[in-house]
Amino acid sequence: MEKTAKYAAITATAASLGARLSAAEEAADKAGVKGSINHSVCKWCYKNVTLEELCIAAKDIGLQSIELLAPSDFALLNKYDLTCAMVSFPTGTTKDGEKVGRIEKAFNRLEHHDTLQEIYEKELKACAEVGAKQLICFSGNREGMDDEQGLENCAIGLKRILPLAEKLGITLSMELLNSKVNHPDYMCDNTKWGVALADKIGSPNFKYLYDIYHMQIMEGDVISTIREKNEYFSHYHTGGVPGRHEIDESQELYYPAIMRAIVETGYTGFVGQEFIPARQDALGSLKQGVEICTV
């Protein structure tokens, strides 16, 4: 009896999701936007799948990009006619032995800037050689620093490398991350602070990776933010809330509506699936995520 009830519940959930997706597809068809999303996936979410295996699956699923990779991975991507929509961050060690470039240690500290300039300029050149158009970066953690000082310091450091980014036609994209669950103390944890930094820098080659999962946790109001602040966003990531797992009805966000809002802004870039599959069939979950986001 328990198994029957459980099966019935799963069937009902699947039927409900199917109905909602069909309605979303119908609305998208009427709006003339179906198929407007360029699909990408973050490799790190599939630790038990090799990059080549993911390339093969990506082509079958309908992805155009596998991201958060290094320029050295482009040869394999090219073999499968794929790109990398967002190149991963470089790291280096300061003269004081601090590893910088990572989420926790980055542009909000003046003492990191010499090393950050060195490693980012090298990575920008490597990106240009393989045709990559976006390179991720981070603010760093607060560690007692107030947000205004962090904003000032980030602007100083980023302005040192943006002239090269502009010359090479590459966008530096700082990721908005939550400091409530996954990245305690991270400074760039809200859209308001991000917009203030972008306005202070004033470069068309500095934008944000708007991570829907992270910003739902920090501030919610995702669709309104996308509509009002989309000029600051050069890339989007998905993830189910809570838990950062599948983006279906097991979580609280309705991704078809979010994707339509993104398309309606005129966005022509990529949306990267960055959820960690909780199911055994990880690639099946990825395929489902792409279908949900195809509007």
**In the predicted structure, residue 247 carries a pLDDT above the cut 60:** yes
Q: Which two tokens stand for residue 192?
A: 């308001």
The answer to whether residue 116 sits within a structural domain is yes
Q: For residue 74, give every residue at least 6 positions away whose Cβ sits within 8 Å of its Cβ, in sequence order, or none.
A: 84, 130, 131, 132
Dist CA 43 CA 274 (whole Å): 8
The rounded mean pLDDT for the chain is: 91
Given this model, what pLDDT does residue 51 score?
A: 98
Dist CA 173 CA 175 (whole Å): 6
DSSP category for residue 93: E
Same domain, 44 and 145: no
DSSP category for residue 210: E
Q: What is the pTM of this model?
A: 0.88
Given this model, what pLDDT does residue 10 score?
A: 36
Q: E strands of 101-258, at which residues?
A: 134-137, 171-176, 206-211, 233-237
Domain that holds residue 159: 87-173+183-211
For 234, phi then psi, to 5°, come to -110, -5
Count: domains in the chain: 2
The answer to whether residue 250 sits within a structural domain is yes
Instruction: Read off the pLDDT of each residue in 229-245 and give the average, rounded to a whole number.
Output: 98
The pLDDT tens digits for 163-216 are 999 999 999 999 999 999 999 999 999 999 999 999 999 999 999 999 999 999
The pLDDT tens digits for 70-121 are 999 999 999 999 999 999 999 999 999 999 999 999 999 999 999 999 999 9
Question: Please, which pLDDT band fits residue 36 given cuts at 50, 70 and 90?
Answer: confident
Same domain, 290 and 257: yes
